[in-house]
Amino acid sequence: MEKDLRIFSHENILEQIKTAEFRNGYYVLEFYAENNKPSTKPSSTVAKFFLYPSGGTLRDSEFQLLFYDSRYDTYRGFNPPHLTRQKKET
C-alpha cells in the first residue's frame, strides 16, 4: 500500500515539496483538513496549503498564517528543493 502524503506530518511536507509546484515564493501542498487546518488523520476534506520557505510559515487556502517552523525556514538553514533545481539548471 502506498503512503498517503495528504496526512499532515513533517515527513509528508518534505516528500510533497520534492514535486510540488513552486510559485510566488511558496510551495502548493495538499493535506486532509479539519476546520481549515491540516489533519494528521484522513478526512473527507482535502485542502491546499502554502509553505513559504523564506519564512518557514505554513498558510491555509486563504493565506492565513497557521504556524511557523524553523525546520522550513531558509534563514535557519533549510535548503528547499527549488533552490537545488535552480542550481542544476544553471
CB 28 within 8 A of CB 17: no
At 31 the pLDDT is 98
Question: How far is residue 83 from each of residues 6, 48, 74, measured CA to CA in Å?
Answer: 24, 22, 10
| pTM as predicted | 0.88
At 81 the pLDDT is 87
Give the count of domains, the chain.
1
CB 37 within 8 A of CB 66: yes
At 86 the pLDDT is 57
CB 27 within 8 A of CB 80: yes
Whether residue 75 is contained in a domain is answered as: yes
Q: What is the pLDDT of residues 34-45, one digit of tens each?
A: 999 999 999 999
Between CA 63 and CA 78 the distance in angstroms is 21
Residue 87 has pLDDT above 60, yes or no: no
Whether residue 1 is contained in a domain is answered as: no
Residue 1 cell numbers, joined: 500500500
At 12 the pLDDT is 97
For range 38-57, the mean pLDDT? 97
Q: Strand 65-68 and strand 57-59: pairing? A: antiparallel
Domain membership of residue 14 as a residue range? 10-89
Whether residue 74 is contained in a domain is answered as: yes
Residue 88 has pLDDT above 90, yes or no: no
Whether residue 3 is contained in a domain is answered as: no
Whether residue 39 is contained in a domain is answered as: yes
Q: What is the pLDDT of residues 13-29, one digit of tens each?
A: 999 999 999 999 999 99
Whether residue 5 is contained in a domain is answered as: no
44: which DSSP letter? S
